[in-house]
């Protein structure tokens, strides 16, 4: 048996969603065991995988973003504070991951796209793969002074391979392969059921409005878009809008790609969780 340590970013559901797709394919090899390191969306990941060959480690893997209250603007002050808290004991974090990889006899590290495991893997001679359309080092440039980002920059430089996904502008001095878009498979019968649920008579436009699971804006109820004629809207479970033409994805619904597939149009932040082939997507 081979053991893969799979690290998933704690920010939002997009990293978790695409990691489910990758892990499902890795599990097609009966000789593979996977240990997932993650904290934010553990239940979201566990239930759709449902395999005895996947175990879970509750681990904060990175910082993510922080927004100014009741807005979609970045909170630079809090971001810098949280980032500094995360890296203040960076050498200790690397040593902890080194111990974890050794104890579990890990053969391969995959990270989407936490910087946490790369240096530990390099010290042990374990190959590591960064898998993403960005890194948190480049994501923070312009929000945090570059001199503060040394720990993250150094960590990503220790990747053995970088698998660059669609829309990536990353340039690292490591072996890089480029890939496109991918997502979890869509259940067409479920798509038909959802369309009947939200658009019973079939004459309205179905619009998915995706703000992300970490967006918390109280004034969404007042957006004029909800008054668009002949439109019904699908929103994630965290969007609290009480209107007859707005449907929330149930909080316990695990295959959210089916709701996206049921839509005629997607209006979304630039999040990977919205990816589905052959769909018109507008990003803001």
**Sheet containing 246-248, strands listed edge to edge, beginning at the edge strand earlier in sequence:** 246-248, 231-235, 205-210, 265-268, 281-283
Cα atoms found within 13 Å of the Cα of residue 54, Cβ hemisphere only = 24
Return the pLDDT at 20.
93
CB contact at 8 A, 184 and 17: yes
- The DSSP-derived string for 196-254 is HHH-TTS-SEEEEEE--TT---GGGGG-GGGG-TTEEEEE-TT-----TTEEEPPTT--
Strand order in 32-38's β-sheet? 54-58, 32-38, 2-8, 108-112, 128-132, 161-164, 175-178
Q: Beta strands of the chain (E only): which ranges?
A: 2-8, 32-38, 54-58, 108-112, 128-132, 161-164, 175-178, 205-210, 231-235, 246-248, 265-268, 281-283
Residue 185: DSSP 8-state: P
The label of the residue with tokens 């703000």 reads: 211
Q: How confident is the model at residue 284 (pLDDT cuts 50, 70, 90)?
A: very low
Tell me how far CA of residue 257 lies from CA of 23, 33, 70, 210, in angstroms.
Answer: 16, 26, 27, 12
Please state, for a pLDDT cut of 70, what percent of the chain lies above it. 92
User: Could you tell me the domains of the chain?
Assistant: 2-178 (3.40.50.2000), 188-283 (3.40.50.12580)
pLDDT band at residue 276 under the 50/70/90 scheme: low
Residue identified by tokens 């507008």 is 282
Task: Please give the share of the chain, as a percent, with pLDDT higher than 90.
Answer: 72
pLDDT value at 217 more than 60: no
Average pLDDT over residues 37-64: 94
Is residue 280 very low, low, confident or very high in pLDDT (cuts 50, 70, 90)?
very low
Residue 82 tokens, joined = 């949280």
- 89-133 tens-digit pLDDT: 999 999 999 999 999 999 999 999 999 999 999 999 999 999 999
Neighbours of 80 (CB within 10 A): 16
Average pLDDT, the chain: 90
Q: CB neighbours (10 Å) of residue 3?
A: 16
pLDDT in tens, 15-45: 998 899 999 999 999 999 999 999 999 988 9
- Rounded Cα distance, 143 and 73, in Å: 11
């Amino acid at each position: 048996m081979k053991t893969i340590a799979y690290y998933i970013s704690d920010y939002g559901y997009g990293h978790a969603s695409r990691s489910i797709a990758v892990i499902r394919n890795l599990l097609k090899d009966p000789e593979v065991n996977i240990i997932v390191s993650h904290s934010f969306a553990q239940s979201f990941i566990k239930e759709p995988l449902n395999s005895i060959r996947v175990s879970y480690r509750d681990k904060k893997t990175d910082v993510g973003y922080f927004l100014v209250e009741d807005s979609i603007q970045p909170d630079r002050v809090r971001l810098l504070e949280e980032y500094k808290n995360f890296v203040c004991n960076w050498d200790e974090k690397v040593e902890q991951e080194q111990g974890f990889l050794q104890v579990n006899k890990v053969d391969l590290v995959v990270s989407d796209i936490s910087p946490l495991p790369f240096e530990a893997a390099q010290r042990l001679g374990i190959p590591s793969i960064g898998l993403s359309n960005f890194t948190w080092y480049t994501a923070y440039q312009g929000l945090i002074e570059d001199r503060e980002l040394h720990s993250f920059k150094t960590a990503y430089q220790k990747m053995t391979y970088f698998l660059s996904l669609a829309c990536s502008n990353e340039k690292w001095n490591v072996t890089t392969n480029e890939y496109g878009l991918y997502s979890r498979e869509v259940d067409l019968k479920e798509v038909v059921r959802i369309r009947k649920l939200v658009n019973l008579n079939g004459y309205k436009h179905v619009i998915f409005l995706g703000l992300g699971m970490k967006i918390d804006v109280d004034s969404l109820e007042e957006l004029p878009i909800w008054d668009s004629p002949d439109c019904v809207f699908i929103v994630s479970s965290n969007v609290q809008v009480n209107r007859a033409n707005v449907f929330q994805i149930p909080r316990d619904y695990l295959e959210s790609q089916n709701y996206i597939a049921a839509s005629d149009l997607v209006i979304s932040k630039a999040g990977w969780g919205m990816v589905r082939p052959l769909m018109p997507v507008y990003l803001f």
